[in-house]
Amino acid sequence: MNPLLSLIDTTIQKSLRSINTSQFERFHTYAKKVRSIDWADPGYTRIPLILEGISAAANLRGHLLLPKLQKITWRSIRWCSLINIQHLLLSNPRHVTLICDYNKKFIHFASDEEKDSFLAIMETIASTSNLSTLSLEGLCLLDGAMAAEVLETLCHPCSTIQKLSIDYPRTTFHPLILGQMPKLSTLEISLDTKLKVHCSSNHLDIKEEKEPFKSLSSLFVHRSSIEPTDYLLGLIRSENMHSVRILLEDASPSGLSTLLPHAYKWSKLKSLDIMQACQTPLFWPMSIIRPLYDSCPVMEELQVSGHVVDMVDEDVVAIARSWSHLRVLRLSEKARRSSLAKYPPKFTLYGLQALLNGCRTLSDLFLFMDTSTIPDTAGLQRRAGSSGTTIGISRGPNVLGLNPERWKAYLREMEEQNYHIDAAFLFEL
Amino acid sequence: MPFVLEIYELARQIASYLSTADALALAKTCRSTSNPALDELWMDLASFKPLLALLPPAFLNLQGEALSVSIVCT
């Protein structure tokens, strides 16, 4: 080590040893007010050493460094400051976020000692008795074996974690490790598109006996492909699923028909959002969604983006009858124009009126529709309240034959019924 | 001073809507608003530096020196 730095280290340690009671009390008065700390590791400074010294001074007086700390966010973790996390974890925080990625490069441990220190931190986190939220970013930047070891350390059957955010390492995918956490209710997981599912006989045994993900109620899968997502959804044994959000990067046309049937088993599902990135026209038959009318009777939000759906007026009548508490319905959003040209919408304004009459709490609607015929608004029930309902209508690709004057009159009539319609396509006519 | 500011919870709630500079001004206003404003100011820290600044002056000089050396080193 540089002799100058060594001299400074020694002087800091001496100085900390000589800190008197009144000086420490001044520090402690403010330290005990701190509930959350968000710190980006500045690198190889003397700060870790100073904090270690203060922590030792606090321990000598029977205190913790930050005794009432509830939330830790630690960015760009370096080995030299890992010891400080240990000190902070003694405060038994409820929320911990560790952001391991440093300049988005793979994390290499220079020695076994560094590796052991990192695992020791994970063990301390895993044994923190109050921990309810854990967010681990950059786990995929660790090498596969190390990442697997970290997961096994953190996700144990006695874990108190209720909310876990994680980018799954680029190893073989065996999510049953996560599924054995008994209190896990919210899972946000990022899956590499090249992940391969691992399904050994051992894992199948766990699946049958332990009821994986039995407390899960909210799932958010992002940057994912179909195979691991399908496997993960198939494992969930929870009856309390109420929110599922999936962002697929896989452009396979079988995406929705593979994943959506998993939702049929969740009778308490209130929110379902599936977004698929696609380069080619994707079509989604309504036959996939129809079973949801009966199997998910309390649905409040349904969003499917990237696909064109073949919804007809009879479908919205059925939706209005089945989902009276529906608040959000967004279908075919972000669908490519080529998809719309290939599968022109059949849903009409007559269906829209039936939907508005049936779903009185609907506040957000996005649909492509056949706008060539305009119905009379006489049958439409007036929406109560001052704010009314905002409705976005996107037309089908063929606007030939539309009558702008008739449309303007229709929109005025709708306004009188307290419906605010955003029909931007009218400006193109 | 208005009686309402002597109620800790209300003063704390008011402090939660203030900017750092305004909360600091409130902390310096009087004894009864000082604690709630300081509690609010110290509740969420974006760095360890405010804590290090609580250390004794002699140590602070050393710490400044140490930090400046570390900047040269990184």
Mean pLDDT value across residues B36-51: 90
Whether residues B9 and B32 fall in one domain: yes
Whether residues B36 and B50 fall in one domain: no
pLDDT tens digits for A266-313? 999 999 998 887 666 677 778 888 899 889 999 999 988 877 777 888
Whether residues B13 and B30 fall in one domain: yes
Domains and CATH numbers, chain A: 261-429 (3.80.10)
Q: How many residues does chain B have?
A: 74
Whether residues B30 and B8 fall in one domain: yes
pLDDT band at A43 (very low <50, low <70, confident <90, very high): low
Q: Which amino acid is at A363?
A: S
Rounded Cα distance between B56 and A102, Å, is 33
Domain of residue B35: give its range: 1-43
Taking Cα atoms as reference points, which of A175, A290, A264 lies closest to residue A224?
A175
pTM exceeding the 0.95 threshold for the entire prediction:
no
Whether residues B17 and B51 fall in one domain: no
pLDDT band at A5 (very low <50, low <70, confident <90, very high): low
- Provide the angle, in degrees to the nearest 10, between the axes of the packed helices A3-17 and B57-73: 150
What's the angle, vertex CA A180, arms to CA A175 and CA A185, rounded to 5? 90
pLDDT tens digits for A192-220? 777 777 655 444 444 454 788 989 999 99
- Provide the angle, in degrees to the nearest 10, between the axes of the packed helices A47-60 and A3-17: 20
Interface touch A34/B42, C-beta < 8 Å: yes
pLDDT tens digits for A77-99? 666 666 777 788 888 888 988 88
| Closest residue in A to B65 (Cα–Cα) | A8
Tokens of B29: 């206003």
Whether residues B36 and B67 fall in one domain: no
Taking Cα atoms as reference points, which of A387, A389, A394 lies closest to residue A428?
A394
Query: Which of B39, B47, B71 has its CB closest to that of A39?
Result: B47
Whether residues B1 and B29 fall in one domain: yes
Query: Which of A23, A33, A51 has its CB closest to that of B39?
Result: A33
Q: Which of B54, B63, B72 to mutate to test the interface with A (most CBs of A within 10 A)?
A: B54
Between the two ends of chain B, the Cα-to-Cα distance in Å is 51
Task: State the pairing for strand pair A389-395/A419-422.
Answer: parallel
Rounded Cα distance between B63 and A48, Å, is 12
DSSP percent split of chain B into helix, strand, coil, nearest 5 = 75, 5, 20
Interface touch B59/A15, C-beta < 8 Å: yes
In sequence order, the 6+-apart residues with CB closer than 8 A to the CB of A325 are A298, A299, A300, A359, A361
What is the tally of structural domains in chain B? Answer: 2
Query: Which of A11, A38, A44 has its CB closest to that of B62?
Result: A11
Whether residues B17 and B50 fall in one domain: no
Whether residues B1 and B28 fall in one domain: yes
DSSP percent split of chain A into helix, strand, coil, nearest 5 = 40, 20, 40
Whether residues B11 and B29 fall in one domain: yes
pLDDT at A379 > cutoff 90: no
Whether residues B51 and B39 fall in one domain: no
Rounded Cα distance between A256 and A275, Å, is 9
pLDDT at A377: 65
pLDDT at B62 > cutoff 50: no
Rounded Cα distance between A45 and A50, Å, is 10
Whether residues B39 and B51 fall in one domain: no
pLDDT at B70 > cutoff 50: no
